[in-house]
Amino acid sequence: MTKKVLDLDNDLAALLVGEHDANLKTLEHLLDCDISLRGNQLTLEGSPAEVERVLSLVEDLLSLVGSGHPLDKATVELAAAMTLGSNGKTPRLESIVGDVILEHRGRRIAPKTINQKTYVDAIRSNTITFGIGPAGTGKTYLGMAMAATSLLTGDVARIILTRPAVEAGEKLGFLPGGLMEKVDPYLRPLFDALYDMMDPDSLAQHLEKGSIEVAPLAYMRGRTLNDAFVILDEAQNTSPEQMKMFLTRLGFGSRMVVTGDITQIDLPKGQYSGLGTVREILTGIKDIAFVTFDSQDVVRHKLVQDIVSAYKLYVERQSQTRSDRISAPAGGRGEGLRWRQGVDRP
């Protein structure tokens, strides 16, 4: 067993441990090390390797709070996860959560995971960026923050936000009003994100003069989108033809972000998803980036991570079961042919 004692500045110590020692409790739960604070002395006890790992982690957290970044449970969990299996190539914590994209009403919008940081950097470096992964990983929200920053700094003249108006159980025809009223429920999440990033009056002015446009994907056909930051959300519900149509709207001085979750496709049965095929088509083309998120990037309730992981395992088991049945000799040659053709599946 190894014991190490650190003398901390009183103010930094208070920020590090958090209210009611919440941050220390989180660290102790995640790490195989005893951590305690008496006065301004932080004591670490554990195996030599674990104490060294926790010491490096604490130094990262102290550097972060010292530069004015508050600690929350998600940041502490990220810091702990980053030290596991580190091979010296893991970025420093401050380079991730300290990369503030936008600050509004005292709230800082920044990456909270390594993949989110990769995504933000990809948007900065590429004309077209695809963010693919489960719900709650920040794909749309961070893309919106990057768009808002680009507009506010004058890098682009307008933001265009679009979604395919595909039903997830409720038909458009049963919703009241004209077309825009009918598609409003599909576009509402985009408005919600904008209200987090801009004052209502400012947002209303941008919408009125057209510097921010929110429209269904069908409205993109025939247009050339110059000097714009364009976001296509819920792209798993596009057909391959719609995806091609959207991407070829790209104009000069513009940037595109395409987000979606290929496990939540609401297209009619048998119809291919444009997001499901686009990676195979465009991989290798310069200035186009693909970033994939997983359950570890979910920044909603911890239970959401567990749900996403459980569904992923279920799909993998189902795929393996189908594969086994297709390759099984039982039933004769004709039976195997019907499986491969997708006929008479149970």
- Percentage of residues of the chain with pLDDT beyond 90: 35
Residue of 252, 270, 239, 261 whose CA lies nearest to 345: 270
Between 133 and 318, residue with greater pLDDT: 133
Residue of 86, 149, 144, 81 whose CA lies nearest to 112: 81
DSSP bridge partners of 37: 42
DSSP symbols for 105-142: TTEEE---SHHHHHHHHHHHH-SEEEEE--TTSSHHHH
Residue 236 above 60 pLDDT? Answer: yes
| Greatest mean pLDDT range, 6-15, 179-188, 193-202, 221-230 | 221-230
Between 159 and 80, residue with greater pLDDT: 159
- The pLDDT of residue 341 is 38
Under 8 Å between Cβ of 78 and 113:
yes
Q: What is the mean pLDDT of the chain?
A: 82
| Greatest mean pLDDT range, 16-25, 242-251, 323-332 | 242-251
Distances (CA, A) of 41 to 35, 36, 182, 268: 11, 8, 60, 62
Domain ranges of the chain: 2-97, 109-300, 304-340
- At the second CATH level, the architecture of 2-97 is 2-Layer Sandwich (3.30)
- Percentage of residues of the chain with pLDDT beyond 70: 82
Give 334-337's long-range contacts (Cβ < 8 A, gap of 24+). Answer: none
Q: Which of 42-46, 210-214, 339-343 is least confident?
A: 339-343
Residue 229 above 90 pLDDT? Answer: yes
Between 94 and 327, residue with greater pLDDT: 94
Residue 168 above 90 pLDDT? Answer: no
Distances (CA, A) of 163 to 215, 216, 219, 221, 311: 7, 5, 10, 13, 24
Q: Please report which confidence band the pLDDT of residue 89 belongs to, taking 50, 70 and 90 as the band edges.
A: low
Under 8 Å between Cβ of 235 and 259:
yes
d(CA 58, CA 173): 56
State residue 99 phi and psi, 5-degree precision.
-85, 80
Quick one: average pLDDT of 36-40?
85
d(CA 38, CA 88): 32
- The pLDDT of residue 166 is 62
How many Cα atoms are found within 13 Å in the side-chain-facing hemisphere of 17?
18
Residue 22 above 70 pLDDT? Answer: yes
Residue of 50, 58, 13 whose CA lies nearest to 34: 50
Superfamily of domain 109-300: P-loop containing nucleotide triphosphate hydrolases (3.40.50.300)
Residue 171 above 70 pLDDT? Answer: no
Quick one: average pLDDT of 250-277?
92
Under 8 Å between Cβ of 247 and 288:
no
Q: Please report which confidence band the pLDDT of residue 170 belongs to, taking 50, 70 and 90 as the band edges.
A: very low
Instruction: Reduce the DSSP state of residue 41 to 3 states and report it.
Output: strand
- The pLDDT of residue 151 is 96
Instruction: Reduce the DSSP state of residue 46 to 3 states and report it.
Output: strand
d(CA 202, CA 196): 12
Residue 129 above 70 pLDDT? Answer: yes
